[in-house]
Structure 1
Amino acid sequence: MFETILTTCIIVMALCLLIGLGALILTKDELSRAVMADLVFYAMVAIFLVWTLLNDTMIGYEVAILAALVCGTIPTVSMARIISRGRR
C-alpha cells in the first residue's frame, strides 16, 4: 500500500516536472525561465527523495543536504543576475 502511494506521488511529480519543462521551453521571459528552472530542479530532488524511501541507498540524505544548500544560494544569485541583466 505504501509503495503504491509513493509510486503515485512520483508519477504526479514527474508530470509536474514535464509541464514545467514545457513552460520553460515555451516562455520567452528570462525571469520566468529562471523560476521554471528552479521548479525543475526542486522536482528532480523531490522525486529522488521519494525514490529513496522505496530503495535503500547510502547517499540519500547527503543528496538532500547538498540540494538544500544549493537550492538556497544558487537560485538567489542567478535571479539577481537576471533581474539586473548582468550589470554589477
Structure 2
Amino acid sequence: MTPFYIISTVLVLIIAISLASALLLILTAKDYITRAVVADMVFYSMVALYIIWTMNYSTSIAFDIMLLAALLAGVLPTLSMARILSKGRR
C-alpha cells in the first residue's frame, strides 16, 4: 500500500461520513430550501468520491467522465437549486 492510497482511503472515509450526515439532514429537514442546499452537498460529495476513485483506478474513459462531472458540477446544481428556491417561476 502506497502513502497515496492510504491518504485517499482516509479522504474517502471523511467524505462518506459527511455524505451520510447530509443524507440524514435531508431526511430530518422540515423545509424544502434546506433540502435543496443539502442535495447540492450530496452531489458534490459524490463527484469528489468519483474523482478520488479515478485517481486510484485510472481507465481511459474515467478522466473524461471526471472532467464532465467537474464542468457540470457548477452549472446544473446551481440552476436546479434556483428553480427550487423560486418555486419554478422564471
How does the TM-score come out when normalised to structure 1? Answer: 0.87
Q: How does 1:4-83 map to 2 (within 5 A)?
A: 4-83=6-85
Deviation at 1:73, TM superposition (A): 2.0
Give unmatched runs, 5+ long, in structure 1: none
Kept after mapping to 1: 8 A contact 2:47/2:70: no
How does the TM-score come out when normalised to structure 2? Answer: 0.85
Letter in 1 for 2:33: L
Give unmatched runs, 5+ long, in structure 2: none
Pick 1 or 2: higher relative contact order, CA cutoff 8 A, min separation 6. Answer: 1
Q: CA RMSD in A?
A: 1.4
The alignment covers a number of residue pairs equal to 88
> Percent identity, aligned pairs only?
44
